[in-house]
């Protein structure tokens, strides 16, 4: 019997069961229940689902593979993400929960940015929703690719078939259960991910006599690439360190993470959630860096010779655990992909229905109609993402490469605006609109024309220009009305 396959099948049955249970038990027919869980999510579920949706398969494949190949200088991205996570939970989470409710009980980020300024204009709301749909479709396509790669490794099936199975399972529980199903599946997937990444380095430390001298040996791959491990984390250039740390800025504009803050049952629960989330991300990032270092010493020469460094977690799991346990650990990679993709599907769907369909296309749409339109968008986005991911055309890979820059795009466009909307009473709608547009344009233009020559991650100039534009546009605009300042005062009354 193939115990790895058995473990994965049990895992998929569990995820589908959660979606079916929430579909059958759902008593509410409102879009707020489907897209935001009725603001009834507890602190543990909120924290674990936020971190699981944050960390995709990059956590278990991309980061450890990069550290294994090039050394600890690659860990600066992880440090930036840990700092960004902590700052987001400490300074943004509680305020956004209170502000989103004070701003006419907003259920999406674009809706919040409009309601926060008590405006009837839908320009910012529509622009934001379109950006969400485009970027999240590409993100989901990326998750399909990552999930399919693990499927083909374990099940030994054709990649297209693997991707279809992965997509079908993901669509089913997101389509049926909505936000609650996504959060609860992400909760269990987050638990699985942290157990998996901690189990591998712990078992290695307990059973293997590690030889650190092996880190100094350069390895040449089959294509002639020479990989030399750099053990000094400070050996990275100032530009690499700054770019790594800048990843943390992206958190302030990540819709699929910010929506978790909006859904927690009570603002008072944020403190407990923040502790859980910060501990989770620090342990997870530290563990995968150790996995990479240990992997370099144990199987690094084999993996690098074949340019298969991203498989270090997979191979170490198989080497040190029974096949059934290894199958459970490998399910963590699938969990990482699914927990990110399901959140992005739901946020893209909620943005379309709440920010375009209901206010523009069907103003009198009932809650039930909006709910089913949202489910249809989940399906539509997933289908488009599937064809992008499975396309063999030359342009498909170019599109997939742009997914890496979507993080910077979200951070540049929405990060400064979210921060200012929560902390600056004088902030205006025109300032928010200017910040989103300037941040997004700067990010795209810098990536196209200057990122290669400067080596500077486009999130840095994008975030800076977005912040400056938002502040300047606000200062030259007239002061906000009493209705707008009343929203700010109501949300901060208990601070």
pLDDT digits (tens, 9 = 90+) for 239-279: 889 988 988 999 999 988 998 898 888 888 999 999 999 99
Q: Minimal CA–CA distance to 286: which of 228, 340, 233, 216?
A: 233
Compute the distance between CA of residue 472 and CA of residue 477 in angstroms, rounded to an integer.
Answer: 9
Q: Note the pLDDT of residue 202.
A: 96
pLDDT, tens digit, 9 for 90 and up, residues 301-318:
999 998 888 889 989 999
Q: Kindly state the tokens that stand for 226.
A: 């020479």
User: Does residue 448 lie in a domain region?
Assistant: no
Say yes or no to pLDDT of 297 above 70. Answer: yes
Q: Note the pLDDT of residue 439.
A: 94
Say yes or no to pLDDT of 203 above 50. Answer: yes
The dihedral built from the CA positions of residue 295, 297, 303 and 304, taken in this order, carries a sign that is positive
Mean pLDDT score, 378-383:
86
Q: Which of 77-91, 125-139, 159-173 has the highest mean pLDDT?
A: 77-91
Higher pLDDT pick, 405 / 291: 291
Instruction: Compute φ and ψ for 226, nearest 5 degrees.
Output: -105, 125
Higher pLDDT pick, 240 / 79: 79
Say yes or no to pLDDT of 32 above 60. Answer: no
Mean pLDDT score, 133-139:
78
Q: Kindly state the tokens that stand for 460.
A: 């840095």
Q: Note the pLDDT of residue 348.
A: 80
pLDDT band at 395 (very low <50, low <70, confident <90, very high): very low
Mean pLDDT score, 171-196:
77
Residue listed under structure tokens 């860990």: 75
pLDDT band at 470 (very low <50, low <70, confident <90, very high): very high
User: Does residue 469 lie in a domain region?
Assistant: no
Compute the distance between CA of residue 421 and CA of residue 423 in angstroms, rounded to an integer.
Answer: 6
Say yes or no to pLDDT of 23 above 70. Answer: no
User: Does residue 487 lie in a domain region?
Assistant: no
Residue 358: DSSP 8-state? I
Mean pLDDT score, 124-153:
79
Say yes or no to pLDDT of 199 above 90. Answer: yes
Compute the distance between CA of residue 165 and CA of residue 163 in angstroms, rounded to an integer.
Answer: 5
Compute the distance between CA of residue 383 and CA of residue 398 in angstroms, rounded to an integer.
Answer: 19
Residue listed under structure tokens 């599907």: 345
User: Does residue 233 lie in a domain region?
Assistant: yes
Total number of domains constituting the chain: 1
Residue 103 Cα distances to 116, 354, 488, 490, angstroms:
5, 15, 9, 9
Residue 268: DSSP 8-state? G
Compute the distance between CA of residue 363 and CA of residue 357 in angstroms, rounded to an integer.
Answer: 8
User: Does residue 27 lie in a domain region?
Assistant: yes
Taking each helix axis from N to C end, the angle separating 94-102 and 394-423, rounded to the nearest 10 degrees, works out to 80
User: Does residue 396 lie in a domain region?
Assistant: no
pLDDT, tens digit, 9 for 90 and up, residues 86-131:
999 999 999 999 999 999 888 788 889 989 999 988 899 888 888 7
Q: Note the pLDDT of residue 445.
A: 95
185's enclosing H/E stretch is helix 159-207
Mean pLDDT score, 455-464:
94
Compute the distance between CA of residue 92 and CA of residue 262 in angstroms, rounded to an integer.
Answer: 10
Interior angle at CA 205, CA 204 and CA 207, nearest 5: 65
pLDDT, tens digit, 9 for 90 and up, residues 327-362:
888 888 887 777 777 777 877 887 788 778 887 788
How confident is the prediction for the chain on average, in pLDDT?
A: 85
Mean pLDDT score, 374-394:
79
34's enclosing H/E stretch is helix 31-36
pLDDT band at 143 (very low <50, low <70, confident <90, very high): confident
Compute the distance between CA of residue 230 and CA of residue 162 in angstroms, rounded to an integer.
Answer: 36
Higher pLDDT pick, 175 / 70: 70
Say yes or no to pLDDT of 398 above 50. Answer: no
Q: Note the pLDDT of residue 281.
A: 95
Host domain of residue 99? 3-108+120-377
Mean pLDDT score, 53-78:
86
Q: Note the pLDDT of residue 173.
A: 67
Say yes or no to pLDDT of 424 above 80. Answer: yes
CB atoms within 10 A of CB 396: 16
411's enclosing H/E stretch is helix 394-423
Q: Kindly state the tokens that stand for 340.
A: 């990110």
> What CATH number is attached to the domain comprising 48?
1.20.1730.10
Evaluate whether 250 touches 410 at the Cβ level (below 8 Å): yes
User: Does residue 466 lie in a domain region?
Assistant: no
Q: Note the pLDDT of residue 1.
A: 54
Q: Note the pLDDT of residue 332.
A: 85
User: Does residue 305 lie in a domain region?
Assistant: yes
């Amino acid at each position: 019997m193939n115990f790895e396959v058995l473990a994965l099948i049990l895992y998929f049955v569990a995820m589908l069961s959660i979606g079916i249970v929430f579909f059958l038990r759902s008593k509410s027919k409102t879009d707020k229940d489907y897209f935001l869980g009725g603001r009834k999510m507890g602190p543990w579920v909120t924290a674990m689902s936020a971190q699981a949706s944050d960390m995709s398969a990059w956590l278990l494949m991309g980061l450890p593979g990069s550290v294994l190949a090039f050394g600890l200088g690659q860990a600066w991205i992880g440090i930036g993400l840990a700092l960004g996570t902590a700052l987001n939970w400490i300074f943004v989470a509680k305020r956004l929960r209170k502000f989103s409710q004070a701003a006419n009980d907003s259920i999406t980020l674009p809706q919040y940015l409009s309601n926060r300024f008590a405006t009837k204009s839908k320009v910012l709301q529509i622009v934001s929703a379109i950006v969400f749909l485009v970027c999240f479709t590409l993100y989901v396509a990326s998750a399909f690719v990552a999930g399919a790669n693990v499927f083909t490794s374990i099940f030994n099936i054709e990649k297209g078939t693997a991707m279809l199975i992965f997509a079908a399972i993901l669509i089913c529980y997101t389509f049926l259960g909505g936000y609650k199903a996504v959060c609860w599946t992400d909760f269990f997937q987050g638990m699985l991910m942290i157990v998996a990444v901690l189990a591998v380095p712990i078992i290695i430390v307990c059973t293997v006599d590690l030889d650190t001298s092996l880190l100094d040996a350069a390895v040449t791959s089959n294509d002639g690439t020479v990989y030399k491990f750099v053990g000094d984390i400070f050996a990275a250039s100032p530009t690499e360190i700054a770019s790594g740390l800048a990843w943390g800025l992206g958190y302030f504009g990540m819709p699929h993470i910010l929506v978790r803050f909006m859904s927690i049952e009570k603002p008072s629960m944020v403190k407990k959630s923040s502790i859980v989330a910060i501990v989770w991300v620090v342990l997870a990032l530290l563990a995968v860096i150790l996995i990479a270092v240990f992997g370099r010493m144990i199987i690094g020469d084999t993996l690098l010779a074949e340019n298969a460094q991203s498989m270090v977690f997979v191979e170490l799991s198989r080497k040190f655990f029974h096949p059934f346990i290894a199958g459970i650990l490998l399910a963590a990679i699938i969990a990482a992909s699914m927990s990110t993709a399901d959140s992005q599907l739901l946020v893209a769907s909620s943005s379309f229905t709440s920010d375009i369909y209901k206010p523009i296309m069907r103003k009198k749409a009932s809650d039930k109609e909006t709910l089913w339109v949202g489910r249809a968008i989940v399906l539509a986005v997933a289908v488009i993402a599937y064809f992008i991911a499975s396309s063999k055309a030359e342009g498909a890979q170019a599109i997939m490469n742009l997914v890496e820059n979507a993080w910077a795009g979200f951070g540049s466009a929405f990060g400064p605006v979210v921060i200012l909307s929560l902390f600056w009473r004088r902030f205006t709608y025109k300032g928010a609109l200017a910040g989103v547009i300037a941040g997004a344009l700067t990010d795209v233009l810098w990536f196209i024309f200057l990122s290669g020559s400067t080596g500077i991650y486009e999130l840095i100039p994008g975030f800076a220009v977005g912040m400056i534009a938002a502040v300047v546009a606000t200062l030259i605009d007239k002061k906000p009305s009493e209705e707008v300042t009343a929203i700010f005062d109501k949300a901060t009354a208990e601070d």
